[in-house]
Each structure stands twice: as structure tokens, then as C-alpha cells.
Structure 1
């Protein structure tokens, strides 16, 4: 049995166990999670990813470990921006707090499956068609520009193509019926707002994957590293959602930091055939950019509060 195969097995065992614990814990809270509790859970997920990265270091070497940590930081930072979109989706559908964990469960499980497919396709494309790295690089820079110029308040879930298609296929109820996705009345099947929410979440994550996977491919083409860094960033999203839902608006410059990261990794892909940026330097630059964005947000918030007082 090869070291890679052993690490794949370890990865799936850890993920399965972690998801089981997360589902039990989150179900116990019924969607009512304080900022302190959410912070502890987010810290636990990050610690778990760090431990796995350490295992990668011991088994596959320092280079692969640096690739894992860099990929993880990129994916986690992008996930933060994605969570703000999820908050707007939940607000649009007025999803009760006790039902939000179930929607996030399906969103995460769908993301785990979709990322595997997208990563496999992405690695194959870059391996067989070297010019794809330029397309991916340009896509990331375009995404960064769109992120900066796009007004978050203009996001409208009702314009989601999948939701429009659902309304044409079957009628949609206006009110919730527990945690049911579908109900039957007078011999007719109706979709509930809960199913519509899951549908919009899943299609949104599909769009997120198109942006985020090329970002990790700028660091490595190793399917194991790309996938594991992606999944470790995804599985803790429920805790991250509850944390950001309680802290929304406190990091107003964060999206500019994330956009800067996308520009950096996009440019890294565009110049990859002429100059290779060491992974350690990439990780340092990304951490510095995100730290600067968070610090600027905190200082701006503090200054604003002092002005009001």
C-alpha cells in the first residue's frame, strides 16, 4: 500500500468522523449558535485542518504540506465571501433558524461531491492542455474585478436559473412545512421553500467552485492536495456561517482582500511558464493580504464607533 493511498484512507476516515460529530453538535443547537460557540467550532475545524497538514508534512514532505496549507487558506478565504451570499439566500427565503443547519448539511454534502468532479476535470485540463492555465488565471482576475465592482445588495436569489426552472416544473409553496422538501396536497406535489433554498445554495456553490478550484490549481496540480485542501475548507462551513451571521458587517474590507488574493493567484498562473513563485512565498503573500484586510476593517470599525460616540 502506497503512502498516497494510506493518506487518502486517513483523509476519508477523518472527514467521515468530523462530519458525524458536526452533525450531532449542530443538530443539538437547532440553529441557535452564539458567536462564542461558533468561534470555538471554527477554531476546532481549523485545528483539525492544521493537524492533517502536519500529517501531510510527515508523510509526503514539506513541499506538499506547504501546498496543502496554501490551498486551504485560499479556499477558506473564498468560503468566507461565499458565506455572505448564503446569509442573503437564507434572508430571502426567510429560513427559520432551526431549519438552517439542514440546508447547510445538504449544501456541504453537495459541495463535497461537486468539488471532486470539478477538481478531476480541472487537473486533467491543465495537464493535457497547458494553455488552460492562462484561461484559469484570467478567470480569477475577472472574478476579482467582478467582486470589487459588484454590489452585494443587488444579489437576487429569485433570478437563480435553477429556481426559475423549478417553478416551471412544479408549484412552490409559500410557507414552510417542518423540514419537508416536498408535500402532497389534493393529490398534487408541491416543493417547499426549504427545497428551493437548498437548490439555490447548491447552484451557487457550483458557481463558487468554478472560481475557487482554479485558484488552488495555481498552487499545485496534485489531485490529493487540491481536493483535501478544498474539503477541509468546506466541511467547517456551517460553523463559519453561524459565526459570520453574527458578525456580518464587521469586516467590510475583507472582500477587497479576497479580491487581491484572486488577482495574485491569477497573475501567478499567467506568469507560471516564465517564473515560478515558490509556494512558501505564495502562502506568505496570501496571509499578509488577508491579515491587512482584517486589520483595516477592525481599525475602520473602531474609528467609526469613536466618531459616533
Structure 2
């Protein structure tokens, strides 16, 4: 289906309007969003995406509608996996909690611009050279294989090449100056870590785009569907970050599910490439009669894999244990960092979550406790936070210490 220029313009205006609304009404004034605020706005953005999909289904037909929903769900799932890397980057840069919203929004805008460029380049390549389907398919299979490798926080380095280069070329302050991108230190204008973390998020987004764009082209070659599904999956990502905070570490099997989805789409792309084949060294340059996977079946497979991997993660003992370990490390570091937040309620939330994580590890049975590799170090962190918490509440009723 050909989409008119008017529909393109209206869609772009709507997306830009949502981003501006997000900035002026939520991000411009630095604050830590509550769980309720994050839940309400996440639901709203998902609702907008679903309504747009229903409109696509009604006006564009069943094929176009199913392609949109398959693309949207796939991109949304990939974006959730990306949130874990964003969390590591912001932890590595010690971004104050109040300023994390602005970093995420800038990352979303950079990602949207970068992916729009990749989408139009990818579409031009696919329309000109049918063998590009082979490349996209192989790229997704390789990506799926890489996602099966064990990942640790150390495997994601916030100090990437772009950031290291920026530090060498420009003067950079050691401390943040609210949410400003530059500051004056000893009479010299310098960049703040706020700008560097935005560079790190933007550079990471570019790498993510190299995986996600071939994936959605494996589901549809309609540029309008590819762009809108990608854009609406990114909108609301900021709110989703704060809503899923505490669950990201628990989705331990999500990477396996995403690997299976990417491998499935990669196989679908290669089958389509064989069907459209014109390479002289493959079947003499003739098309290969193969079964092609429908968009409807793709949607069912994607949903089934995501549901299975998410439920397996949430209800597994290993998932709960790894979540508790990650919370103790991350929350203890945050609580002991005086610059983490100026919001007492946020500091208390971190402390209470640390309490729950401590209790979980303490109550583990002997078999499950084998998954805790450094229990003594974790408990030492808990005691250090407990002492800091008791000292901070010395003049008030002291809560049960760690």
C-alpha cells in the first residue's frame, strides 16, 4: 500500500509533538518519576501505539496491520533489552537519578534520527539489490549467536571509543553541574559528564540500530510500517525504564528469547532472498522455490517466544537470586553516593529495596544459595549501608538496620 505524503507529514508531526510534550511537561524539570507516574505514561504510550496499529489495520488492511504489530512488538522487546545497557552506562557515569530522564530522552531522539536514516538506506538497498536480503539474514543469525554468549556488566563498557576520544579532545569536568552540558571550572569552560553520557548513549543506539533495522525489514518492507513501528517502540521508552527498574536484572532469559526471534527472522529473510534470488552462483541465478513464512505466523512465533522467556525469567529461582545480587551491588553503590539523588524518598526507596534483596539472599536454601558467588562481600555492603542509614536517621526513629 502506498502512503500519501499527507499521512507521512501528519505522522511525523504527531511523533515530534509527543517528544516535545515529553520534554516540556516531564523532562525539563529534573525529578525522579514515581512508579505510578511511570506506569501511567508507559500505558498511555503503549495505548497510542496500539491505536495507531488499529488505524493501520482498518485503513491499510490486514497484512499491513499485522506487519505493524509484528514489527512493533519485536522492536519493543529489543528496546527492553537495550535498557539494561543504558542502566549500566548511567551507573558507570554516576548520573544523578533526577537527570536520568533527560539522558534517556536525548538517547531516544538520537536513536530515532539514526534509525530513520538506516531505514531509508536499507529500503533503497533492498529495492535495488535483492541479494541484500541474504546479508540482512546472515547478520541477524550472527547477532542471535552473539546474544547467546554470557554477558556481564563488565562486557558493556560505558567508556566507549567515542567517549574516550571526547575526553582527549575536550576539557571535561569531574563533577556534574545540575543537568548542564557545560560548566566553568577555575575560569575555564568545560564539558560536564552529562554531555559525555549522552554521547555514550547515542553511540550505543547506533550499534543497536544495526541489529534492529534488519530485524524489522525481515517482517515487512513497507517503509512507512518500518518507520512507525520503530518510532512508537521508542516513544515511552523513558517511562518504561523507570517502570521496569528492578525487573531488568530479573529478565535473565530475555536474551535467549530475543536470540531465538532474531534467528527466526534471519531464517525468514534468507528464505525470502532464495525466493527472490538472482545471484548467478545460487541455482544458476534462478529463483528457488521455498516456503515463505507469513507475517501472521511470524507474529504468533514472536509473541509465544516472548511470553515463554518472560515468564520463565520471572518465576525462576535463579532469576530472583541474580536480581537480588544485582540490586545489592547497584543500590548499595547508589545509596553510599551522596550525589546519586537529593530526593529523600528516592534514597529511602533504594534502601528498602536493598533490605528486600538482603532478606532474599539470607532466606535462600542451601542449593539455591550456591548461586550467590560472593555472599560475604554482598553482606558487607549491606552492613555499610545500614551504618550509613542509621547515622542519617540518628535524630529520628531508627528503622531496622541491615
TM-score of the superposed pair, with normalisation by structure 1? 0.92
How big is the shift at 1:264?
Answer: 0.8
Unaligned stretches of 5+ in structure 2?
276-289, 322-359, 366-402
How big is the shift at 1:155?
Answer: 2.7
How big is the shift at 1:298?
Answer: 2.0
How big is the shift at 1:31?
Answer: 4.1
Instruction: Check whether the contact 2:175–2:193 (CA below 8 A) recurs between aligned residues.
Output: yes
Q: In structure 2, how many angstroms separate the alpha carbons of the residues matched to 1:216 and 1:259?
A: 14
How big is the shift at 1:150?
Answer: 4.0
Q: In structure 1, how many angstroms separate the alpha carbons of the residues matched to 2:37 and 2:108?
A: 20
Q: In structure 1, how many angstroms separate the alpha carbons of the residues matched to 2:260 and 2:24?
A: 37
Q: In structure 2, how many angstroms separate the alpha carbons of the residues matched to 1:192 and 1:71?
A: 37
Query: What does residue 275 of structure 1 align with?
Result: 291
How many residues are aligned here? 308
How big is the shift at 1:29?
Answer: 7.5
* Offset from partner CA, 1:146-184 (integer Å, 9 cap, x none): 112041322343541101110121122110011111224
How big is the shift at 1:5?
Answer: 2.6
Query: What does residue 218 of structure 1 align with?
Result: 218
For residues 95-174 of structure 1, the aligned pairs below 5 Å read 95-174=95-174
Moved more, 215-224 or 143-152: 143-152
Instruction: Check whether the contact 2:172–2:190 (CA below 8 A) recurs between aligned residues.
Output: yes
How big is the shift at 1:142?
Answer: 1.1
SS of equivalent to 1:189? strand
How big is the shift at 1:235?
Answer: 1.4
Runs ≥4 residues deviating over 6 A? 302-307
Q: In structure 2, how many angstroms separate the alpha carbons of the residues matched to 1:285 and 1:42?
A: 25
Query: What does residue 188 of structure 1 align with?
Result: 188
* Offset from partner CA, 1:187-231 (integer Å, 9 cap, x none): 533211100100000000000000000000001111111101000
Unaligned stretches of 5+ in structure 1?
none
Query: What does residue 292 of structure 1 align with?
Result: 308
Query: What does residue 253 of structure 1 align with?
Result: 253
Query: What does residue 328 of structure 2 align with?
Result: none
Q: In structure 2, how many angstroms separate the alpha carbons of the residues matched to 1:219 and 1:39?
A: 29
How big is the shift at 1:39?
Answer: 2.6
Instruction: Check whether the contact 1:157–1:200 (CA below 8 A) recurs between aligned residues.
Output: no
Query: What does residue 48 of structure 1 align with?
Result: 48
Query: What does residue 57 of structure 1 align with?
Result: 57
Change (3 A) 1:61 1:238: same
| Larger Rg over CA atoms | 2
Instruction: Check whether the contact 2:67–2:225 (CA below 8 A) recurs between aligned residues.
Output: yes
Q: In structure 1, how many angstroms separate the alpha carbons of the residues matched to 2:31 and 2:133?
A: 41
Q: In structure 2, how many angstroms separate the alpha carbons of the residues matched to 1:269 and 1:41?
A: 35
Moved more, 21-30 or 214-223: 21-30
How big is the shift at 1:49?
Answer: 0.5
Q: In structure 1, how many angstroms separate the alpha carbons of the residues matched to 2:150 and 2:58?
A: 43
Q: In structure 2, how many angstroms separate the alpha carbons of the residues matched to 1:292 and 1:41?
A: 26
How big is the shift at 1:186?
Answer: 4.8
